[in-house]
Amino acid sequence: MTRAISLHDVSKVHAKGVRAVDRLSLDIAPGEFLVLLGPSGCGKSTVLRMIAGLEHITEGELLLDGAYANDLPPSQRDIAMVFQNFALYPNMTGRDNIGFPLRIEDPGSDPAPRVDATARMLGIEELLDRYPGQLSGGERQRVAMGRAIARHPSAFLMDEPLSNLDAKLRNRLRAEISRLTRSLGVTTVYVTHDQAEAMSLGDRVAVLRGGVLQQVDSPRAVYALPRNVFVAAFIGTPRINLLRGVIRAPLDGAMTISLGKQALRLPEPLSLDHRLLRVQQGREVIVGLRSEAVRIATPAEARPEETHITGLVEHVEFQGHEVLVHFNTGSVPAVVPELEAPRPAPRPTRRHREGGFLDRLRERAGSRRAGPAVAEASNGPQPMPEPQDTSPDGRIPGDLVVRTTPDFVLRYGMQVPLLVDTAHLYVFDQHGDRVSPAPARLPDLEEWEV
């Protein structure tokens, strides 16, 4: 049996008034895999512990299969929990660790058949007679998982079960968890601070910030239609580019979004989403550009929905299959305080200009029309980008990160033409709420001229 879990306006207030969870409402369907995602301290574990009955609910209601369950003892909830630190009894073998909860639940029964079946499912038969001290981290986590599964619970709660493992093992176990929970069809609530893990595992992802639910949607929807700037910034790598802008919508002339030194010209005829931006005229907004919404190419190559700006190369991150180029476009990055972990990297900026990039493009344009007008695609061995630089506060000075293929040779200080796909830009208002694409697709929007 698998169960529905509902939280209605659930809050947790700790001693001294710390509000760890604030009026959280969530309906988790039977058999669903829901991921609770958010930065450290946002209340994820608290939510899980309230569902498990390990933490008292201060306000609101918890319903299990529609029945009020706030006061139900943990042992009667039929829910199994897996923790980050593989909590196993050190003085018991794997077999006894898995069998122990079964013996507690039903002292008269022989746990062996269920333990063996579970071990086969997890491929851990050969680990059953070892003690936790004789197991690697990944093996211990498999045994811990076995202990949860063997009980045939009606729901699993998993609190960052993979975060103590190395990256390779994490990926493998992630795939195993996905396969296993789906084949068992058991409702699962999985907590993580890792957005990539959330996106790859969840049927839906619930994003929490400071104890408050920001959005709950399919991984596709939280990525494509983030409700606010926090969700946009938290989901996706490289992080979405967030730039401060001002909407300029003159009565005569093209509508633009000013980004400080440059402006994004919105192509005519204006799309529905862009028409709706008129109401923001003169207001400060935050423009969100995912790295795939910008490409290195000349204005001549622009598609109708693309608009042209230029960027100065500040930093090149070589990643093998792709390259992340940090540009300075003269705009001001918008800051999402909770997410300002220092970006990875580097050392002081070397700026040398090596002949204007556009100059060389012009030279090339004379000799060869059309072609990939972008940087020099070299056929020989790729020069490795040199060690990078940062400003004194440790941040890379670029304001726009663009993803490109490794066959562009870009050097620091080059001035590069960029095309921005205006059909894939996000605009957030001063409160950080998304205003474009429009928050909801109303059926009569076509007639709604603004």
Residues forming contacts to ligand ADP in the complex (CB under 6 A) are 14-15, 18, 20, 38, 40-46
Q: Which is nearer to Mg ion, 37 or 229 (CB)?
A: 37
CA 132, 44, 431: angle at the middle one, nearest 5? 150
Q: Which is nearer to ligand ADP, 163 or 415 (CB)?
A: 163
Site size with Mg ion, rule: CB under 5 A: 1
- Are the CB atoms for 157 and 81 separated by under 8 Å? yes
Q: Across-strand partners of 228?
A: 433
Cα–Cα distance between 144 and 59 in angstroms, integer? 32
Note if the bond before 269 is cis, omega within 30 degrees: yes
- 14 interacts with, out of ligand ADP, Mg ion, none, CB within 5 to 8 A per kind: ligand ADP
Closest distance to Mg ion from the beta carbon of 84 (Å): 7
Cβ neighbours of residue 210 closer than 8 Å, sequence gap 6 or more: 22, 42, 43, 338
Closest distance to ligand ADP from the beta carbon of 46 (Å): 3
- 20 interacts with, out of Mg ion, ligand ADP, none, CB within 5 to 8 A per kind: ligand ADP
Closest CB to Mg ion: residue number? 45
- 7 interacts with, out of ligand ADP, Mg ion, none, CB within 5 to 8 A per kind: none
Q: Which is nearer to ligand ADP, 17 or 392 (CB)?
A: 17
**Phi, psi (rounded to 5 degrees) for 72:** -70, 130
- 236 interacts with, out of ligand ADP, Mg ion, none, CB within 5 to 8 A per kind: none
Point out which span in 3-11, 44-52, 168-176, 288-296 binds Mg ion (CB under 5 A): 44-52
Q: Which is nearer to ligand ADP, 41 or 383 (CB)?
A: 41
Closest distance to ligand ADP from the beta carbon of 431 (Å): 23
Q: Which is nearer to ligand ADP, 44 or 114 (CB)?
A: 44
Q: What is the dihedral of CA 371, 376, 379, 380, to 10 degrees?
A: 170
Closest CA to 403 of 262, 237, 223, 287: 237
253 Ramachandran zone, left/alpha/beta (phi>0; psi -120 to 50): left
Closest distance to ligand ADP from the beta carbon of 342 (Å): 20
Cα–Cα distance between 397 and 382 in angstroms, integer? 25
Point out which span in 38-46, 143-151, 256-264, 384-392 binds Mg ion (CB under 5 A): 38-46
CA 78, 84, 86: angle at the middle one, nearest 5? 80
Helical pair 137-150 and 112-122, crossing angle rounded to 10 deg: 130
| The residue count for the chain | 450
Closest distance to ligand ADP from the beta carbon of 43 (Å): 4
Among 4, 33, 43, 45, binds Mg ion (CB under 5 A): 45
Closest distance to Mg ion from the beta carbon of 159 (Å): 6
Q: Which is nearer to ligand ADP, 14 or 283 (CB)?
A: 14
What does DSSP assign to residue 106? -
- 379 interacts with, out of Mg ion, ligand ADP, none, CB within 5 to 8 A per kind: none
C-alpha distances out from residue 52 to 14, 87, 88, Å: 17, 16, 18
**Phi, psi (rounded to 5 degrees) for 212:** -115, 130
- Are the CB atoms for 291 and 242 separated by under 8 Å? no
Closest distance to ligand ADP from the beta carbon of 189 (Å): 12
- 40 interacts with, out of Mg ion, ligand ADP, none, CB within 5 to 8 A per kind: ligand ADP
Closest distance to ligand ADP from the beta carbon of 36 (Å): 8
Closest CA to 190 of 170, 151, 225, 160: 160
**Phi, psi (rounded to 5 degrees) for 113:** -60, -40
Q: Which is nearer to ligand ADP, 34 or 277 (CB)?
A: 34
Give, rounded to a whole angstrom, the gap between the first and last alpha carbons of the chain: 52
Take residue 371 and report the two structure tokens written for it. 């072609």
Residue with token string 């990926």: 171
Closest distance to ligand ADP from the beta carbon of 48 (Å): 8
Closest CA to 429 of 287, 285, 331: 285
Q: Which is nearer to ligand ADP, 42 or 231 (CB)?
A: 42
Cα–Cα distance between 79 and 2 in angstroms, integer? 10
- 18 interacts with, out of Mg ion, ligand ADP, none, CB within 5 to 8 A per kind: ligand ADP
Point out which span in 43-51, 246-254, 258-266, 441-449 binds Mg ion (CB under 5 A): 43-51
Q: Which is nearer to Mg ion, 43 or 311 (CB)?
A: 43
Q: Is 241 helix (H, G, I), strand (E, B) or coil?
A: strand
Closest distance to Mg ion from the beta carbon of 43 (Å): 8
11 near Mg ion, rule: CB under 5 A: no
Point out which span in 17-25, 27-35, 37-45, 398-406 binds Mg ion (CB under 5 A): 37-45
Closest distance to Mg ion from the beta carbon of 46 (Å): 8
Residues forming the site for Mg ion (CB under 5 A): 45
